[in-house]
A and B are shown apart, each in its own frame.
Chain A
């Protein structure tokens, strides 16, 4: 180390951990695959909790004038159900797939900022736990996930302060993660992986990260204003002191409508991966699918007031947002037709991932069509804030996103765990889920048109809503059963011996399948060189003179020969600092609620965390 004398080596405060196995390694890992798994397991745990909340909601609504839950409990539970499913399940579950798969699909060894990646995860988890700790500290948020002031700002319980702080924290996690993944996609692609050779899943990932980066600051501003109103008596939303309640609604929906696409585009990406593989055809109209995804991203910022048609914005605004809402149906429709085009003429293998993906398309179409009826503004005066809307967005977000995510789980399980989920149980799960889903949410269209408002903790028998509510409750418990089938399947599968007879069980098309199952820490022994869309497929199949596909013998592909550029494998070492920095944030939040001392302590921990992070040597000493 002769040069070390002139350039002082960075000195760490604590020794960098090196273990990549063992329980401690999960706290220090900066491997995108392990972080992806952490995201996945945490998100699934929150899915179970949010699902149990849904079951309580359905139990309460199973009969008129039910007293299982009182108004106070019901309001907390429906609020937490929404917050959990959106911020603690679908978003982190999508992040799990992005984390695990994007580097593999673009031929990278990790994400651009591995420690920032770990930080994002810990901040998300701690933010979620912070939000849930409100149950034990005076009551959960009770003003709905939309948290409209002045109700949310004047509510005397502590819940909505937890809401504001908790969402600021999880928003930080998403922002950091979004920047990280966007930079990864832009900068870390393998040689030859041009933007228009990227798998659609990566494209949708990129669009989602940009949506997050632009949408989250808006809600963060609104949440801080809410926090100030609640905690320090400002009057941003207080009409009695010159504030405007509608300010919140504009800010909230300007975030929350892009948020809808943040929730659904990852599933669109997964569907766009699964359909070609199981139809044994390339994606029909790759450019159209990609550009329609980008278009959805842009137009998604211009439709927010369709959540506010009944607030009295006036006929000009209602006309404008009615039209933009109709416009956004066009790129969404393109995707549906292109997916059908992908399946058309294919040789369709209905393994579970495909069932889930086709189910997602079929269910999303229903949600899309009911969405078009929202664009018909005067008709929406009747349907908004009724169960018709509840039906609509569950068809989109459960029918589209959850089915799509389950498709991804079944599709990539062999890649991640080197075991295959049982197909028979998978199909059983799919059919129970499909039936349960339609029984739960289908009747809600009728309930909404029949005059059932959202967020009411009970309804009288005289409204004639009892029968369909009962059907819906039965359906919800069927969904629960299907989830149980999945858990059993997963546990049973993981008890079998590791190892796949065929490491490419679906005859897949994209790069992540070129490496072993599970992938080594460094992902690829040699960084692949990419020649086309569906690179892996072209390494396996070539066309003969008549244009028919013939299988290339293993190792004979001239594509693979070009791989690697001779560089040594460099991987960053695990680190404690992301976790330490993350711990400071909820500490600050508790401090805002209870004591300035705690704010100081939390800030100190975070600053020390970032300092240690910055000063850390690049590799273990």
Chain B
């Protein structure tokens, strides 16, 4: 009887489980917001039915046999010595095989369906670094309107138009401050995953994988690297921001334009320090790029529109860029003071900046809307 009670408890837990899979969990795979994730979820649900049936038959059977046939002191009997039943055994070999074959039909067709890459999809390259994500909008109409008219490049937040089919090309780059002569030294495997929009695909050095997806509704979708990629694997996060058409056009126009020139004194100082124009500073541009300036490094996040409202988080989305709409200067200061102290292993070195220098850099970065 204790076993029965235990199973009732387990059932209760199961119910609780379903309740707890609430809509507030931003990485809940069971709450999809796009066709790719929806297809994947549907398939899981489809399999859960036969799985639940097998679960009930087998576990119920074991339980029933255990209770009904347990030895009792007042009943000393020697059971008949049955060695098997070939027909029965062939039956329970074939029956599961048929169920599995049936399951594999939609499975296989979905594998091929998800592998399709529509020609008219919007092309974005996803670049995995240790430990942050970069995004490169490679469609010709997404080139910036200054300099060499390169692609729009952002970091940490992937901004997309709602409803458009996107074809992501996944590449692994890496190295941070340790890269030499353009050869990144720490190209490792990552995996790109935004649970509410699409299942994961690995990001492998030397290979290019694809994810095709779209978002049904405007909103923010949380994601992170899913393949162990070293020290800060746990904090290699990103967000996908789906914008409606009007917001999308505004965002594209802003991203296409070069960075704004700061007009307040402190931010101006920060810019000088960033670019090293007065013989002081200038380390930033070895790795970072700021569109429209001399800063053109590619080993670290592109900061052209660091302070745009859509750039909600920085350093692998470990830190919020804004708190209640205001610049989150505190975290950025701590980061600049010693990146390794706030994120162990971060590739950005500690440049021994003075507090005044940090204030100037923070002012400059938050002027880059």
Contact = CB atoms under 8 A, between A and B. Distances in A.
Interface of A: 70-72, 74-75, 143-144, 146, 148, 150-151, 154-155, 239-240, 244-246, 279-282, 284-288, 310-312, 314-315, 318-319, 322-323, 326-327, 329-330, 333-334, 336-338, 340-341, 343-350, 358, 361-362, 365-366, 369, 372-373, 375-386, 431, 435, 438, 442-443, 445-446, 449-459, 462-465, 467-468, 541, 547-549
B69 A346 contact: yes
- Dominant SS among interface residues on chain A: helix
Contacts of A467: 20
Interface in B196-240: 198-202, 204-207, 209-210, 222, 224-235
Interface in B101-141: 101, 103-104, 107-108, 110-112, 114-115
25 contacts: A71-B232, A146-B228, A148-B228, A239-B206, A240-B187, A246-B204, A279-B79, A281-B81, A284-B83, A285-B89, A312-B210, A326-B104, A330-B93, A334-B93, A340-B61, A372-B100, A373-B48, A376-B44, A376-B103, A378-B199, A379-B43, A379-B107, A442-B13, A467-B20, A548-B78
A287 B6 CA distance: 35
Given A148-B227, A343-B65, A456-B233, 6 more contacts: A151-B229, A281-B80, A323-B104, A377-B111, A382-B44, A464-B28
B107 A375 contact: yes
B88 A450 contact: no
Given A319-B108, A362-B59, A463-B26, A151 B228 contact: yes
A151 B189 contact: yes
Interface stretch (B152-160, B178-186, B261-269): B178-186
Nearest to A246: B204
Contacts of B27: 450-452, 463
Interface stretch (B50-58, B301-309, B322-330): B50-58
A463 B207 CA distance: 31
B11 interface: no
A463 B193 CA distance: 14
B111 A318 contact: yes
Interface residues of B, number: 100
A430 to B, nearest CB: 12
A228 to B, nearest CB: 18
Contact of B82 (A71, A282, A453): A282
A361 B62 contact: yes
Given A344-B65, A378-B114, A386-B226, A285 B84 contact: yes
Nearest to A377: B111
B78 A376 contact: no
A347 B74 CA distance: 12
A281 B71 CA distance: 13
B234 to A, nearest CB: 3
B252 interface: no
Interface string B12-47: 010001001110111111100000010111011001
B70 interface: yes
Contacts of A347: 69, 71, 75, 77-79
Given A284-B82, A376-B47, A312 B89 contact: no
B344 interface: yes
B354 interface: no
B200 A310 contact: yes
A345 B80 contact: yes
Contacts of B200: 310, 381-382, 384-385
Contacts of A373: 44, 47-48, 51
- Dominant SS among interface residues on chain B: mixed
A438 B7 CA distance: 12
Interface of B: 2, 6, 10, 13, 17, 20-22, 24-30, 37, 39-41, 43-44, 47-48, 51, 54-55, 58-59, 61-62, 65-66, 69-71, 75, 77-86, 88-89, 92-93, 96-97, 100-101, 103-104, 107-108, 110-112, 114-115, 172, 183-189, 191, 193, 195, 198-202, 204-207, 209-210, 222, 224-235, 344-345
Contacts, number: 304
Nearest to A326: B100
A579 B170 CA distance: 51
A330 B37 contact: no
B92 A337 contact: yes
Contacts of B69: 279, 343-348
A71 B29 contact: no
Nearest to B68: A348
B66 A154 contact: no
Contacts of B17: 443, 445-446
Contacts of B187: 150, 239-240
Given A245-B206, A312-B209, A451-B27, A326 B103 contact: yes
A383 to B, nearest CB: 8
A340 B183 contact: no
A442 B10 CA distance: 10
B51 A369 contact: yes
A382 B206 contact: no
Nearest to B196: A451
A282 B114 CA distance: 49
Give the 6 A-B residue pairs with the shortest CB-CB distance, closest first.
Answer: A451-B27, A381-B199, A456-B234, A239-B206, A239-B205, A285-B84
A348 B112 CA distance: 49
B31 to A, nearest CB: 9
A382 B200 CA distance: 6
Contact of A311 (B44, B97, B202): B202
A348 B82 contact: no
Contacts of A146: 228
B100 to A, nearest CB: 4
